[in-house]
Amino acid sequence: MSFFSRFTGRKRAREAARRLGLDPSAENYLALAREHVVAGASAEVLQVCEEGLQVHPGNAELTRLAERARTLNLDSRVRQLQENLRISPRPALWKELCEILLQTGRIQRAEEYAEKWFEVMHDGESVYYRARCRAELFFQERRAEDGRVAWQLAQHAGQGLAGDSRPIQLQFEIARRCGAWQEARAAIARLLEINPGNPDLEARFRIVLANCHETLPLEEALQQVERTGLFIDDAPEGSQSPANVSVRPALQSLGAERDVHAAIFLRGGTALVQGPHGATADRTARLVREVVIRTRNTCRRMALGRPLQVQMEGDFGVCHLIFGEHGTAALWCAGAIQHSHIELLEDLAGTVRGVA
Amino acid sequence: MKAILEPLAMIPGVRMTALISEDGVPIVTARGAGRSQENEDPQNIDHDDVLNSFTAMAAGWLGEISRAVGQLSWSSPTRVVLKATQGEMVLQKAPGAVVLVVLERGVTAEELRVPMEGAIARMHRVLRNISQARTPQTTTDQPPPGIVQVATTPPATAATPVNPAQNPLSDSTGDQ
């Protein structure tokens, strides 16, 4: 950045800050944050966004910008750690790197680093991180093979880290989530041996004991998770409501756009359709539901992981579906779908940014 | 066809490309650059048997989607992109077949739009050339069957000289 750009950038930031002082609206917070983005000051961006979110909680734009700033900060720390590891590889750096990568959802990268760490150090901590990465993959993709490997690695890590409860905690989590209650009981009993009298663990032990009558062997439980795509405590789709966006106004604003034929939001058995009416609306909702079900099954069978987006193009135009935690949002347009539409659909569906 | 698909497979981030029949049988496949057929993971798409089932499932999914959109009387989609956590898959209709491209994480399907359309256009051209080569060549002497040959003498034009003695209408200028 040249001196002149830096100078004008500072002037614009001061101007935006002055406007924010006069009117602390979400738009003015955004304007100031954007000026900091242009200046490349990610720490300031995060600070302004967090302040803005305290005044305007749930503002989608501010949340998005704060997330991006946070990711940028973590990315720069990742680069720094990689550089340090090249000079002097040591467990604390490997550990921090794996933690950051897991935190930002880059599980495969984290696993690669954990494997490199294991090759260099051969310690229990690296095995634990390998197990954790695999377990995260299992929780995300629901492949039996991942669960099996995570379980075995956690067992090895437990042997290397005597007295450490983390590998056993991981085993407990794997067993509990897929309904292998006997294995979960054994794991929590060992946790209680390490932390005797812990009220939280005792409460969990009682819950596990109560479920032991409907236990499945671990292998069978893992296979069942792969087949159904569901864990024991998975809430039915759509039980969580969109936190940042209210569905109907967002659908209405999408439906009012030029070239948009229909905007659909699907949550569990309920569908909201903006655009078509009557039987056509029913058929549109049914179409989206069928595509969602078929795509989920196909992704699982093809080991593609969790579906994030589907785009269909043809004589009918373009139909774009986004899968998220809150449900599925879809848009049927005559022409190309704009980036702003996709962002709104992601907010509606509750997509975890960074994964998509 | 392999020569058409291989440039697609050479694009960075492309894991595999295949031309598959509409019922999922692979016709031609090309693996992305830097990938070998041998891979430790038996579940990996780079193994031939896994590849066969992968293409069958991809075609099956396309068929299911086409049936689903049929409810609104939409025609079958010509291009479908599926983005998932473990990668991205693009299916695009080609003449009598489907082009399948599997992408690594971090590559977007939009980057592949133009190369895929180019490959499909080349396929069209190759098929057109083949069909033209198979059609029997017709000679100029023999017209195609079903077309009757008409008189070949050129019609008289206004500039043709006319002998008035041989033309009974030459003097009939309104006196009769």
CA–CA distances in Å: residue A208 to residues A180, A201, A296:
10, 10, 30
* Share above pLDDT 70 across residues of chain A, in percent, rounded to a whole number: 92
Pairing mode, strands A260-267 and A328-333? antiparallel
Domain spanning A3-75: CATH superfamily: Tetratricopeptide repeat domain (1.25.40.10)
Asked if B81 contacts B88 with a C-beta cutoff of 8 angstroms, the reply is yes
Q: In what order do the strands lie in the sheet with B87-94?
A: A270-274, A260-267, A328-333, A317-323, A307-314, B79-84, B87-94, B97-103, B14-20, B26-31
Provide the mean pLDDT of chain A: 85
Q: Using alpha carbons, select from A296, A311, A175 the residue that is nearest to residue A231.
A: A175
Q: Using alpha carbons, select from A285, A296, A243 the residue that is nearest to residue A263.
A: A285
Residue range B134-144: mean pLDDT, rounded: 58
Asked if A254 contacts A343 with a C-beta cutoff of 8 angstroms, the reply is no
CATH architecture of the domain A247-349 equals 2-Layer Sandwich (3.30)
Contact flag A302-B57 (C-beta cutoff 8 Å): yes
* Gap between the Cα atoms of B50 and B56, Å rounded: 10
Tokens encoding A306 = 């969790």
Low-confidence stretches of chain A (pLDDT < 50) are: 243-244, 352-356
- Domain edges within chain A: 3-75, 106-228, 247-349
Mutation site for B-interface testing, chosen from A112, A298, A321, A352 by largest number of B Cβ within 10 Å:
A298
Contacts with A308 from chain B: Cβ below 8 Å:
83-85
Tokens encoding B41 = 């993971």
A247-349 has the same fold as A106-228: no
- Domain edges within chain B: 2-134
Per-residue pLDDT tens over the stretch B22-73: 888 888 888 876 444 444 444 455 566 778 888 899 999 999 999 999 888 8
B57 inside 8 A of chain A by CB: yes
* Fold that domain A106-228 belongs to in CATH: 1.25.40
Rg (CA), chain B: 30
- What is B2-134's CATH number? 3.30.450.30
ipTM: 0.70
Asked if A280 contacts B74 with a C-beta cutoff of 8 angstroms, the reply is no
B65 inside 8 A of chain A by CB: yes
